[in-house]
């Protein structure tokens, strides 16, 4: 693997999803604004990104996006500059959403963080090697996802193999990952599988705090316990 590049300073937070499994909470509140330890999930991300040295943040919006925009504004109070990528009337899924936001990101590579996770991943420490188009942060499989997503071998993410780990929703990407893509709604996984097949997707394992806040039960459990982020 070629050496890593300099630290990335531009990030995208994925915040456009409907949050079906979190209903009825998400009927009136977008997922990223659900509170963990008294603070919206997305604000935890913004504070950690700012602390890690990220200066520009792109946030995609669809379901109840106006609430997110009203809450966060231009990002000045978090020490960052926020740009919004509108996807209304419906979310474009992860692949389509990132592709639409590329003109706003203006960075190669850039960081992407799912808006509905809670984690202590060190965003500022992530690096992408020159010979890779994606670098994924994986985690040990949680109870609700026992079979994982990808294998990890010698610093590379693989579609097949053992052991398997769960993709955290935190990754670095290059625009090259989206070469040939067109506007529209589509998932990210096929693009990652293509990069893996070409040997251009690296990965690392994170054994610290990470929770996919995908259900009401997991949100409630997180608020009952779990360490606060610093």
pLDDT digits (tens, 9 = 90+) for 168-223: 999 999 999 999 999 999 999 999 999 999 999 999 999 999 988 878 888 888 88
Which residues make beta-bridge pairs with 137?
204
Residue 226 clears pLDDT 90, i.e. is over it: no
Task: Tell me the CB-side half-sphere exposure of residue 56, using CA atoms within 13 A.
Answer: 12
- Is the backbone peptide bond immediately before 88 cis, with ω within 30 degrees of 0? no
Tokens of 88: 């209304």
pLDDT digits (tens, 9 = 90+) for 86-98: 997 788 999 999 9
pLDDT digits (tens, 9 = 90+) for 149-170: 999 999 999 999 999 999 999 9
pLDDT digits (tens, 9 = 90+) for 32-67: 998 888 899 999 999 999 999 999 999 999 988 899
Tokens of 104: 């706003």
- 8 A C-beta contact, residue 161 and residue 33: no
The structure tokens 């026992």 sit at 146
3-state secondary structure of 61: strand
* 149-155: long-range contacts, CB 8 A cutoff, minimum separation 24: 150/192, 150/196, 150/203, 152/203, 152/204, 152/205, 155/1, 155/202, 155/203, 155/204
pTM: 0.92
Q: Where do the domains of the chain lie, and which CATH numbers do they carry?
A: 10-220 (3.90.550.10)
């Amino acid at each position: 693997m070629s050496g890593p590049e300099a630290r990335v300073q531009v990030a995208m937070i994925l915040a456009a999803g409907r949050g079906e499994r979190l209903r009825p909470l998400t009927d009136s509140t977008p997922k990223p604004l659900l509170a963990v330890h008294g603070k919206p999930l997305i604000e935890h991300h913004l504070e950690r990104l700012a602390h890690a040295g990220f200066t520009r943040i792109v946030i995609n919006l669809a379901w109840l996006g106006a609430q997110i925009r009203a809450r966060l504004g231009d990002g000045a109070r978090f020490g960052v500059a926020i740009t919004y990528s509108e996807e209304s009337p419906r979310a474009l899924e992860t692949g389509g959403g990132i592709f639409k936001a590329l003109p706003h990101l203006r960075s190669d590579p850039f960081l992407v963080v799912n808006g509905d996770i809670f984690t202590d991943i060190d965003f500022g420490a992530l690096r992408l090697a020159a010979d890779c188009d994606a670098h994924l942060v994986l985690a040990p499989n949680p109870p609700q996802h026992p079979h994982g997503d990808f294998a990890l071998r010698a610093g590379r993410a693989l579609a097949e193999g053992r052991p398997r780990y769960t993709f955290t929703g935190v990754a670095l990407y290059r625009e090259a990952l989206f070469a040939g893509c067109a506007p529209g709604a589509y998932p990210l996984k096929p693009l990652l599988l293509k990069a893996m097949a070409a040997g251009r997707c690296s990965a690392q394992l994170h054994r610290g705090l990470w929770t996919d806040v995908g259900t009401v039960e997991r949100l409630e459990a997180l608020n009952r316990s779990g360490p606060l982020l610093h």
